[in-house]
Structure 1
Amino acid sequence: MAEVRGGGESGDARPQLDEDLSEVSDFLKAIGRQIKILRELAGLTQKEFAKEVGYTESLIGAVEQGKRTPQRELLEASERVLDARGLLIATASDIERAKAKARVRHPEWFRNYAGLEAEALELHDWSAYLAPGLLQTEDYARAVFRMRQPLLTEETVETRVAARMARQEILTRWPRAVFSWVIDESVLFRRLGGPAVHRAQLERFLEIGNTRGMTLQIMPVDRAENAGMDGSFKLFTPKGRPQTGYLEVQMNGRLITDAEEVRLLNARYGTLRAQAHSTQESLSLIEKMLGER
């Protein structure tokens, strides 16, 4: 088994280990300056521009400062709103190549797991305490990182959020991997980030649960038996490799490659799915909670 210091879903407890943006930072800052200049020439504030392109003001600020990698969708929206005449969208391919070359997405300690996750053919996740990283909204992820102890700087928080959002690209690829999540019902009641962030996260769960090829189940808190009381874990099958497990406890993340340990986690996950609400029951529960908010 391999050990990965830090932990991934709940945030890095060692803030000195930051993502390596050094190789592409000047490139990203240059693109951010271009967007800022075009925005100002158009007479738009960050808040007004964010509303026009459909993104948060904080994200636009991070992109303009070169702290966040602009996705193709943002570049396309910026082209339309700012009438950039192809200047911004022309950088999309260069950004993708730069990201691949510099490995900007994840901190050093998390890259081993993140690399395997990115090429997974199957991914199954039991989450006992908070929303799975792949399903977190941007604001929910930001709330998770902001509550880390010791506190992270705002720049580090935004870097971590960007990495988490980039991981979610795996959900949009085709052919789609096989995904399933079992989430403890207590997660639905935990209002991390406040009411608005909490509601948006519940809506995100509904969106995922209604997506073809993705299965989301809720484990009721009133079950007399729960096979996941030892904590959260993941099972994933990378392309061309055997199924692997992943565990996190406080500041330690651990890849499980021993066949017997993986078999036991697999059996445990199967029991969790049997004990949890069905998919439809789970979605109905979330819809009911949204209706009561």
Structure 2
Amino acid sequence: MTLTTDTPRFGLVGTGPWARRTYAPVLQAHAGVRFAGVWGRRPEAAAELAAGHGTTAYADVDALFADCDAVAFAVPPDVQAPLAERAAAAGCHLLLDKPLATDPAAARAVVEAADAAGVATAVFCTMRYAPDVAAWLAEQSATEGWFTGRADWYGALFSAEDADAVRAATPWRADRGALWDVGPHALSMLLPVLGDVVGVTAGRGPGDTVHLLLRHASGASSTAALSLTAPRAAAGAAVEFRGAAGVTVMPEAGPHQDAPAAAVDVLLHSARTGAPHACDARFGLRLTEILAEAERSLPEH
């Protein structure tokens, strides 16, 4: 379903921290869209968010989908997937959060629904939309001869003084941990350069830390370190590739305030041209499949 309107109607599903702090302000300020409305599982939160951004709170999510050309999702992954199916069936282009789902079958259903409806999709793996990092990643993807790589995502989300409040605000992260929260970020950087994953083994570290050992279709190997319980002083993200061309390191990861607006632009471009983006729902499905395999390989203790 090709997008033809100059100013598409963009809806928002979710009222949590990501919706409030990121998507609502971005959609309100974006010159290329009209922020058409908000739906949330807590009607009072949806009403408050809508009032603060000059848009409409919807009591019925399907009514929101019917009134929109595109929808951004800011809800837990296993809430997102079935709603995204319904949005696609209603003809909405989809800006999806990562992970797409934690169950490969649920993620596959989103892909199938989007394909059946002919709608565009984009999964918001942050660094893929940060202009400086995206340019660096494209350069490495065009370079041959990589031997190995690593992606380290050390977060302190559950080590901070307000950790209990964070767990209460986003309980799915406390339940599923770093593997599912920051694992998609790490994989989204490694796969474009080293190729698809053909084997993964996972091991446990302190707290919710998980270490991945990956084999890629190119013959290269990589590692990923994932945590939400690192000490605050140890937090940070790093990506490195080593090969025949030497060693290259991801540009310093800053706040990347431009990334959400860039993701909106990417989705709109894909919707208008029919050309899928590399970080679309099909790629999101592959990330879910790899993370599910990694989870199965984790020792219990």
TM exceeding 0.5: no
Structure possessing the higher radius of gyration over alpha carbons: 1
Higher helix share: 1
TM-score (norm 2): 0.31
Q: Which has the higher contact order (CA 8 A, sep 6+)?
A: 1
TM-score (norm 1): 0.32
